C-alpha cells in the first residue's frame, strides 16, 4: 500500500489515491507493489527490497545514493496477521520529500500523521518530518519498556508474596519473564539502530541543517541513550526475577523430596518388624502366641508413630 501525505496548515494530510505524488512531502510504502515501486522510480527514488533492508552490513543500512540519504532501522510492530513482528524500516530522505519503506506495521507510522504539526520537530520539511517520526518511534519504544516494567512489577509481587507461588504459577511466571526478556532485547536492538541512524543523519545535518534541527537531533540521541540504560536495568530485573523463580522451584522440589524421604523413613521400622515376623522359622519369639498378630501390629504402629514423633521433634516435618 502507498500512503502519501502533503503539508497543510494544521500538519500533514493524507492525499487521495489519484493525487500527483510530486505534491507529497511524505510517502509511506507498506509492502509496496511493483506499480508503486515504478511510480517512485519515476520520481527518482529507488525503493530497496526487503532483502536489501535485512542486510546486516552498515554499508547496506546507512548510505547515500546520489542526493538521497538512506537510513534503515529495525523496529517492533505487527505483521499482516496482526501478530507481533520485528523487522526493518527504511527512511529515504530526498531533496524534495521523505519516503519510508516497511513490510510490517510499527505503531508510530499509524499515529504520527494525525498530530505531526504538534510534535516538537514539526513537519515543515522532509527533515522535520523525519525527526518528528523518529521522535514518535522513540516515544513508542519508551512505552514498550514501560509496559515491561509494569509486567516485572506484577511478577515481583507474585514472587515475593506470602505464601509463595507454586506449581503451574511458577511455570507461568517463567514464560512471562521469557517474553519480557525478548521484548527488552528487541527494544534494545531497535534503540541501537535508531541511534546509529540519527548519528549518520547528523553528519550531513551539520552542513545543511538549522540550529533547531540539530538541537532536536541531540535530544533524540540522548533519549535513545537513556532508554538503552533503562533497558539494561530491566534486563537485570528479568535476570533477578528468573533466578528467584528458579530458587522457588528448587525449594519446592526439595520440600517434595524431603517429604518422600521422611515418608520412606516412617515405613522403615514397621517394614522391619513385618519382615522379621514374616520369616519362616519355628523358634521366632511369640510365633505360637495366640495374640502374636496383634502384638506384631502394635509393634509396627508403635515404631511408625515413634519415628513420626522423632521427625516432628527434629522439625524435619
* Euclidean distance between CA atoms 314 and 312, whole angstroms: 5
**Helices 292-313 and 211-277: angle between axes, nearest 10 degrees:** 150
More confident residue, 190 or 255: 190
Distances (CA, A) of 199 to 70, 89, 162, 272: 13, 17, 49, 80
Largest CA distance in the chain: 114
How confident is the model at residue 285, as a pLDDT? 72
How confident is the model at residue 279, as a pLDDT? 78
Overall average pLDDT of the 123-136 stretch: 91
Q: What is the dihedral of CA 19, 25, 31, 37, to 10 degrees?
A: 70
Q: Is the peptide bond before 181 cis (omega within 30 degrees of 0)?
A: no
How confident is the model at residue 52, as a pLDDT? 85
What is the per-residue pLDDT across 194-214, written as a single tens digit (0 to 9) for each? 999 999 888 876 666 678 888
More confident residue, 281 or 106: 106
Residue 5 and residue 14 in contact, taking contact as beta carbons nearer than 8 Å: yes
The string over 255-281, giving b where at least 16 C-beta atoms fall within 10 Å of a residue's C-beta and e elsewhere, is eeeeeeeeeeebeebbeebeeebeeee
How confident is the model at residue 297, as a pLDDT? 84
What is the per-residue pLDDT across 6-52, written as a single tens digit (0 to 9) for each? 988 888 999 898 888 889 999 999 999 999 999 888 888 888 888 88
How confident is the model at residue 207, as a pLDDT? 60
Ordered strands of the 98-102 beta sheet = 11-14, 2-8, 26-30, 98-102, 84-93, 68-78, 62-65
What is the per-residue pLDDT across 109-120, written as a single tens digit (0 to 9) for each? 999 988 888 888
How confident is the model at residue 206, as a pLDDT? 60
CA 57 to chain centre: 24
The full DSSP string for the chain is -EEEEEEETTEEEEPPTTS-GGG-SEEEEES--HHHHHHHHHTT--PPPHHHHT--SGGGTEEEETTEEEEEEEEEEE-TTS-EEEEEEEEEE-SS-EEEEESSB-THHHHTGGGGGGSSS-SSSHHHHHHHHHHHHHHHHHHHHHHHHHHHHHHHHHHTSSSPP-THHHHHHHHHHHHHHHHHHHHHHHHHHHHHHHHHHHHHHHHH--HHHHHHHHHHHHHHHHHHHHHHHHHHHHHHHHHHHHHHHHHHHHHHHHHHHHHHHHHHHHHHHHHHHTS--TT-TTTT-TTHHHHHHHHHHHHHHHHHHHHHHTT--
* CA–CA–CA angle 254, 258, 263 (5° rounding): 155
More confident residue, 12 or 289: 12
Q: What's the whole-number average pLDDT of the chain?
A: 87
Asked if residue 58 has pLDDT above 70, the reply is no
Nearest to 3 by CA among 120, 129, 121: 129
What is the per-residue pLDDT across 241-268, written as a single tens digit (0 to 9) for each? 999 999 888 888 787 777 777 778 888 8
Amino acid at each position: 500500500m502507498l500512503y502519501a501525505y502533503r503539508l497543510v496548515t494544521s500538519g500533514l494530510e493524507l492525499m487521495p489515491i489519484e493525487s500527483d505524488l510530486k505534491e507529497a512531502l511524505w510517502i509511506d510504502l507498506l509492502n509496496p507493489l511493483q506499480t508503486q515501486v515504478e511510480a517512485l522510480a519515476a520520481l527518482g527514488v529507488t525503493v530497496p527490497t526487503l532483502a536489501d533492508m535485512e542486510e546486516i552490513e552498515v554499508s547496506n543500512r546507512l548510505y547515500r545514493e546520489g542526493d538521497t540519504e538512506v537510513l534503515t532501522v529495525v523496529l517492533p510492530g505487527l505483521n499482516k496477521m496482526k501478530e507481533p513482528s520485528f523487522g526493518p524500516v527504511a527512511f529515504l530522505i530526498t531533496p524534495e520529500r521523505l519516503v519510508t519503506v516497511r513490510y510490517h506495521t510499527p505503531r508510530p507510522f499509524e499515529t504520527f500523521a494525525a498530530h505531526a504539526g504538534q510534535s516538537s520537530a514539526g513537519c515543515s520539511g522532509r527533515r522535520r518530518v523525519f525527526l518528528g517520526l523518529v521522535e514518535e518511534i522513540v516515544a513508542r519504544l519508551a512505552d514498550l519498556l514501560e509496559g515491561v516494567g509494569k509486567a516485572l512489577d506484577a511478577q515481583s509481587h507474585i514472587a515475593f508474596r506470602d505464601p509463595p507461588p507454586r506449581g503451574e504459577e511458577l511455570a507461568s511466571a517463567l514464560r512471562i519473564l521469557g517474553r519480557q526478556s525478548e521484548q527488552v532485547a528487541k527494544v534494545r536492538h531497535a534503540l541501537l539502530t535508531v541511534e546509529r541512524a540519527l548519528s549518520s543523519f547528523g553528519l550531513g545535518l551539520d552542513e545543511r541543517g538549522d540550529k533547531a534541527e540539530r538541537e532536536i537531533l541531540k535530544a533524540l540521541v540522548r533519549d535513545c541513550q537513556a532508554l538503552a540504560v533503562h533497558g539494561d536495568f530491566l534486563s537485570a530485573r528479568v535476570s533477578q526475577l528468573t533466578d528467584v523463580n528458579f530458587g522457588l522451584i528448587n525449594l519446592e522440589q526439595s520440600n517434595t523430596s524431603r517429604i518422600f524421604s521422611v515418608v520412606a523413613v516412617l515405613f522403615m521400622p514397621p517394614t522391619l518388624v513385618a519382615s522379621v515376623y514374616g520369616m519362616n522359622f519355628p523358634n521366632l519369639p511369640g510365633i505360637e502366641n495366640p495374640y502374636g498378630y496383634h502384638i506384631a501390629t502394635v509393634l509396627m504402629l508403635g515404631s511408625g508413630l515413634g519415628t513420626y514423633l522423632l521427625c516432628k521433634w527434629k522439625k524435619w516435618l
